[in-house]
Homo-oligomer: A and B are copies of this chain.
Amino acid sequence: MKKISGGVTAAKGFKAASTEANIKYKNRKDMMLIYSESACTAAGVFTSNVVKAAPVMWDKEICSSIHPVHAIVANSGIANACTGEEGKRLCAETAGEVESLLSLPKNSVLVASTGVIGMQMNMEAVKRGIAQMVPELSDSEEAATGAAEAIMTTDTHSKQMAMEFEISGTTCKMGALAKGSGMIHPNMCTMLSFVTTDVSISHDLLQKALKTVVVDTFNMISVDGDMSTNDSLMVLANGEAGNKEITEEGDDYNTFVEALNSICKEMARMLAGDGEGATALFTAHVINADTKENARTLAKSVICSSLTKAMIYGHDANFGRVLCALGYSGVLFDPEKVTLSIESEAGSVLMFKEGEPQTFDEEYATKVLSAEEVIAVIDMHIGTEEATAWGCDLTYDYVKINADYRS
């Protein structure tokens, strides 16, 4: 299993395109299209927010059955959420337009939107965008990068990656793109992330693999505790690698899960590190917890706290905030057994050991806390389970970005 360059066009048979459709943003790309001539098996996990955007409802329906899927069309600027009946109609019309121009069967196009909630899409702009993209579809790396860029909102850089691996002797590839960077607190997945692969795998196992992988990757990140109405993680598998179709669990399935996990974990870390206004990736690593679920809850509670996040921004060794966040997580534990260190590439500082505060050099601690990734290592001393969660610091810029996001 090795990392290769590229993104969603790395796997055989996948093309991408992007364009300036002027849906809301001006002078930048705001639409993207991913396409496979071969029909794909598709799986998805979506926001568990009760208020779901129109495209989420559309995609859930398609991904839950074994519809052959050929494309994903996505826009940034407007989320098509809280848009009532009109929003649903516009979503279906968007898919229909792609199907028509690419001569695809009905219900073979997934749709995704990200941006402001409560505004209606401009359908003329959407149609113009689709018409511009279809003739530009390409399997080049640039096309993949363009697609990743087109769905950025407040992201400071685009996110994509690709992997190569073998399944029973056949070389397979997998690529992905994702966008953040606010309203991210995935209870299932995050904002928008699309994965393409040329592996041949059954619909049931593709969905199972995705559900397995999401728990310790996208579900373990948070930027601001706000779970979006639009979160969608979708995988398209077109089978062009030529491996024997994976139809049962075993070595091939495990290899596929490993590849999917690597990609999802890396994309999740990238999203957390590029959270709105963030200057650092903030990782909580809980070890020796009693259960896996408790380890996850504890790690997540630490990276979700406004006060731990502000502490990372201030490079301030105010370690009591980490203990406080563990304490209100809902998990029962004995505070007198807990040990806490803060670590980074600059070193490691033991701050709290089995219930007692430790003395440490403040200057050194500030240095450790000033790295690009700061890790809180929390030893619960009551079991053997561990979990990792990724977040970011809370900065002036987060407030700035969100106080005037619509304007």
CB pair B400 A396 closer than 8 Å: yes
A residues 225-260 with Cβ under 8 Å of B? 225-229
Query: CB distance A357 to B119 under 8 Å?
Result: yes
- Produce 1/0 per residue, A346-357, CB < 8 A to B: 000001100111
Could you tell me which residues of chain A, from 386 to 407, have a CB within 8 Å of some CB in chain B?
A: 394-396, 398-400, 402-407
Interface size class for chain A?
A: 35 or more
Is A79 positioned at the interface, with any CB of B under 8 Å from its CB?
A: yes
Asked whether, in the complex, the Cβ of A327 is within 8 Å of the Cβ of B83, the reply is no
Asked whether A313 lies within 8 Å of B226 as measured between CB atoms, the reply is no
With a cutoff of 8 Å between Cβ atoms, the chain B residues found around residue A227 in the complex are 324, 327-328
Report chain B residues within 8 Å CB of A355.
82, 84
Establish whether residues B398 and A48, one from each chain, have CB atoms under 8 Å apart when the complex forms. Answer: no
Type the 1/0 row for A181-217, where 1 means its CB is closer than 8 Å to any CB of B: 0110101000000000000000000000000000000
The residue that A324 contacts in the complex, of B183, B306, B307, with Cβ under 8 A, is B183
Residues from chain B with a CB closer than 8 A to the CB of A320 are 79, 81-82, 116-118, 229
In the bound complex, CA of A85 to CA of B316 (Å): 25
Instruction: Report A316 CB to chain B, min CB distance, Å.
Output: 6
CB of B117 within 8 A of CB of A318, answer yes
Q: Is A331 an interface residue (CB 8 A)?
A: yes
Q: Given A226-B307, A336-B84, verify A327-B50 contact (CB < 8 Å).
A: yes
Contact B318 A405 (CB under 8 A): yes
Answer whether residue A156 sits at the interface, using C-beta atoms and an 8 A cutoff: no
**Complex: how many Å from CA A210 to CA B327?**
24
Q: Within the assembled complex, what's the spacing in Å between the Cα atoms of A326 and B329?
A: 21
Query: Do residues B118 and A84 form an inter-chain contact, with CB atoms below 8 A?
Result: no
- Please tell me if the beta carbons of A328 and B406 are within 8 angstroms of each other in the complex: no
Expressed in whole angstroms, the minimum distance between the Cβ of A286 and any Cβ of chain B is 14
Cα A400 to Cα B311 in complex, Å, equals 10
Q: How many angstroms between the C-alpha atoms of A332 and B357 in the bound complex?
A: 43
Residues of chain B within 8 A of A324, CB atoms compared? 49, 51, 81, 117, 183, 226-229
Query: Interface 1/0s, chain A 307-337, versus B by CB < 8 A?
Result: 1001101101111110111111101110110
Question: How far, in whole Å, are A304 and B399 apart by their CA atoms in the complex?
Answer: 15
- Interface pair B225/A225, CB less than 8 Å apart: yes
- Chain B residue numbers with a CB within 8 Å of A311 are 402-403
Q: For residues 131 through 156 of chain A, which have their beta carbon under 8 Å from a beta carbon of chain B?
A: none
B310 and A357 form a contact (CB under 8 A)? no
Known: A117-B321, A224-B306, A225-B306. 18 other contacts (CB 8 A): A50-B326, A50-B327, A81-B320, A82-B355, A117-B318, A117-B323, A118-B318, A118-B352, A120-B357, A224-B307, A226-B307, A229-B324, A311-B403, A314-B403, A314-B405, A396-B396, A396-B400, A399-B399
Residues on A lying within 8 angstroms of B by beta carbon are 48-52, 79, 81-86, 116-120, 182-183, 185, 187, 224-229, 304-307, 310-311, 313-314, 316-321, 323-329, 331-333, 335-336, 351-352, 355-357, 394-396, 398-400, 402-407
